[in-house]
Amino acid sequence: MRLHDLAHVRTGDKGDISQISVIAYRAADYPRIARALDTARVGAVLGVAAGAIRRYELPQLGALNFVLEGALSGGVTRSLALDAHGKTLGAHLLALEIGDGA
């Protein structure tokens, strides 16, 4: 099962920071998503150092918000790597395979 089966994302970019909010479709799936996504795993999937990622839990909304510092190679307007922008990072994260017991 992939993350996109359980959740959708909203993203934003500001300067050299990207934010990705992972929002469960169903409240019952939030605990599973929270277990599956820690800063180390998100960093490994997106190629961002885990120390540069902060995770905020929003259980009432069934969401996790990840703030990725330094993810945009100097900033959205300075980056030559268009694929590093938030929408692409969010789509890449949704393709993550998560196990049944994650």
- The two most distant CA atoms of the chain are separated, in Å, by 41
Q: If pLDDT is split at 50, 70 and 90, which confidence band does 95 have?
A: confident
- Top pLDDT among 90 and 67 is at 67
Burial readout 24-47 (b: 16 or more C-beta within 10 A, e: otherwise): beeeeebebbbebbebebbbebbe
Domain around 61: 3-94
Query: What CATH code is carried by the domain that includes residue 45?
Result: 3.30.70
Does residue 99 lie in a domain region?
Answer: no
- Is residue 7 within 8 Å of 94, Cβ to Cβ? yes
Is residue 100 a part of any domain in this protein? no
Return the percentage of the chain with pLDDT > 70, whole number.
80
7 inside domain: yes
Q: Which of 96, 99, 86, 100 is nearest to 42 (CA)?
A: 96
pTM for the predicted model, two decimal places:
0.84
The pLDDT score that the predictor gives to residue 79 is 54
Is 17 a member of any domain? yes
- What is the domain count for the chain? 1
Band (pLDDT 50/70/90 cuts) for residue 7 is: very high
Q: Which long-range CB contacts under 8 A does 28-32 form with residues at least 24 apart? A: 29/62, 30/59, 30/62, 30/63, 32/6, 32/98, 32/102
Residue 102 located in a structural domain: no
Instruction: Dump pLDDT digits (tens) for 36-85.
Output: 999 999 999 888 776 789 999 999 999 999 998 876 666 655 555 545 56
